A and B are shown apart, each in its own frame.
Chain A
Amino acid sequence: MSADTSAREESTGSTGPPPSPAATYAAGPARASRQQRSTGAAAGFLGPNMILLGLFLFLPLGWAFLISFQESNGFGASGWVGLENYRRLVTDPTFWQSALNTAVFTLITVPLSLALGLGLAVLMNSVLPGRKLFRTLIYLPMVISGIATALMGVLLFDEATGIVNKLLREGGLATIPWQSQGTAAFASIVLVTLWIRVGFNMVIYLAGLQGISPELYEAARLEGASSWQQFRYLTVPLVGPSTFFLLIMDVIYSFQVFDTIFVMTGGGPGRSTSVLVTYAYENGFVTRDQSYAAAIGIVIFLITLVFTAIQWKGNRSRDTVG
């Protein structure tokens, strides 16, 4: 999001501090000089959090690295095998299949959720009776649990008894083998993911759109620009910062999709919907090859870190690092 957007959201409906953009952005060197060194107090305030994060986040993270260099022995610890688990990864066709599926899934869902999100945001930002109600309906799926959503997906897409195939049959069309055929199963996961995800994209784009001055459109219209030209040459470039933010968020989200796949297809049929996170879980807690699971986890961690870093880089202007 642009600095502009976040500053405006800052002031959104808050009765609390007067968070003027100036206050946010003045918080730089000037503030540091005015403040006394208070490391002692800081330790007290940070302490509880650092204990929690240290013990249950940083420790497991380091431990995961160690486990990935060990031999699997059920749930227990065992000897060191160096890079053996990683060597295995490189030659494991299921790992590569899962990595490929993850990439394809991300490449399909991200552009679609961006496009649908922007389209809906433009629609919901225009003159429209009942606009508030429509917005609510579009982001409602966001708050529903992954498992309930996935079970709804199972219900809708069941090959034999699901409503989607019943409707197709009723309309005289061929039914779709949602469970028995890989591509169809993949498509059902994509559809459910979009249903969950468009609301979030719409929210961010709406905030971006509302930062654009209406005068710009007025001027474009006077110049004789068509609606499409206004969209293409004004809206799309001006929501660029929102697009960047969403791009990274959506990539991370798609990359980590677990509940939907775990419940709807379990990675099947065959390996057609297996992704890295489900494959890691399967190794860790189904076949109990925990060291191998840890190695897959480390790969996931490194990829996540790359995208988080890109996100920061793009957010430098927006106060991220104290």
Chain B
Amino acid sequence: MAHPLTTQGGAATRVRRVSPAERVSTIVRLVTAVVVGLVMMFPLYWMITIAFSPSADVVSRELHIWPSEWTLENFRTIFGNFPTVTWFGNSVVVTAIITALTVSVNLLAGYAFAKLDFKGKGFVFLLVLSTMMVPVQVLMVAQFRLVTQLGIYGTFWAVIFPSAASAFGIFLARQFIIAIPDELLEAAKMDGAGTIRIFLQIILPLCKPLIAVLVLLTVMYQWNDFAWPLIALKDAELFTLPIGLLYLQGQYGADYGAIMALALLSITPIIIMFLAFQKYFVQGLARSGIR
């Protein structure tokens, strides 16, 4: 079956003569969709506009719906006065390590929950799932003390380990792997393959779409993560972009131009990724329920 995005739903699949009434109703729907689209895009449009506007535009009481002149002044500010490049690099490094770590261990665990039989499986799975929705505010005090005790407070590792300990990937991985026919695994077993070889040579190659979804969602989630890095990091040099943004807001207050320039810079990689791999994103989000 086709992807939800490309499926022709409802009326579209039927071949019928288009009556004037239907044409009017299509126009009404189109107008509604255009209005909705404009409302959804306006905040982004405005962010871009302000990022390229001179500061005078923002503070003036006049209405500018378009920059009075296009300027890179705000970008010069964030690159000149703040460690923007470092923050960007920090975000890349932290996101990459968390993603590699969490996706690998979740694939392994997903396989165990889907295809291996062991004592207490149902209980362990329930235990793991019960933590899936727990917000960081429940754990933050204890996690903060834990990373302090481990001597990693303020380092990347303080962000990485608690963030990589996430159960949502296990759920998705199990759901996907359980659908791989047992006959395939049985056949391999007949040929004398052990559990590890089955995982490496049969499961993993079939899991490419799953891995794509897991990687994309984890990258998105970690790139955007705010609450835990806010607690775990202390030196401005080690901030990730979201914490850098908050820091910039603290320093520059109402200089919306600079703040929007950095905000724009921080969301661009994820938006490009989203547009390039939209299908996987939508699938993964729909299936996991994680935003």
By a beta-carbon cutoff of 8 Å, the part of chain A in contact with chain B is 1, 6, 8-20, 23-24, 27, 31-32, 34-39, 41-46, 48-50, 52-53, 55-61, 63-64, 67, 75, 77, 120, 123-149, 151-156, 158, 160-161, 163, 166-167, 169-170, 195-197, 200, 203-204, 206-207, 209-210, 214, 217-218, 245, 249, 252-253, 256, 258-259, 262-263, 276-277, 280-281, 284-285, 290-291, 293-294, 296-298, 300-301, 304-305, 307-308, 312, 319-322
> How far in angstroms is the closest Cβ of chain A from B14?
7
B17 on the A face (CB < 8 A): no
Q: Ordered nearest first, which 3 A-B pairs have the shortest CB separation?
A: A19-B179, A145-B224, A60-B142
By a beta-carbon cutoff of 8 Å, the part of chain B in contact with chain A is 1, 3-7, 9-14, 22, 26, 29-30, 32-33, 36-37, 40-41, 43-44, 46-47, 50, 58-63, 101, 104-106, 108-109, 111-119, 121-122, 124-135, 137-146, 148, 161-162, 164-165, 167, 170, 174-176, 178-182, 184, 186, 195-196, 199, 206-210, 220, 223-224, 226-227, 231, 241-242, 245-246, 249, 254, 256, 259-260, 263, 266-267, 270-271, 273-275, 278-283, 285-287, 289, 291
What is the bound-complex CA distance between A1 and B289, given in angstroms? Answer: 10
Contacts of A16 on B, CB cut-off 8 Å?
176, 180, 206-210
Residue of B nearest to A148 (CB): B263
Contacts of A308 on B, CB cut-off 8 Å?
129-130, 132-133
Beyond the given A129-B26, A140-B41, A155-B50, please list 7 additional residue pairs across the A-B interface where CB-CB is below 8 A: A12-B4, A15-B208, A41-B116, A52-B101, A60-B142, A136-B275, A161-B59
Is the CB–CB distance between B13 and A214 below 8 Å? yes
User: With contacts A45-B109, A128-B26 known, is A147 near B283, CB below 8 A?
Assistant: no
Contacts of B226 on A, CB cut-off 8 Å?
145-147, 258-259
Secondary structure of the A contact surface, majority rule = helix
B178 in complex: contacting residue of A20, A27, A32, A67, CB < 8 Å: A27
Q: Which of B33, B111, B184 has the most CB of A within 10 A?
A: B33
Is the CB–CB distance between A145 and B138 below 8 Å? no
Residue of B nearest to A30 (CB): B182
Is the CB–CB distance between A166 and B63 below 8 Å? yes
Contacts of B101 on A, CB cut-off 8 Å?
52
> How far in angstroms is the closest Cβ of chain B from A222?
13
User: With contacts A52-B164, A136-B278, A259-B227 known, is A8 near B5, CB below 8 A?
Assistant: no
A52 in complex: contacting residue of B13, B161, B195, B266, CB < 8 Å: B161
B11 in complex: contacting residue of A6, A126, A139, CB < 8 Å: A126
What is the bound-complex CA distance between A319 and B186, given in angstroms? Answer: 22
> How far in angstroms is the closest Cβ of chain B from A134?
5
> How far in angstroms is the closest Cβ of chain A from B23?
10
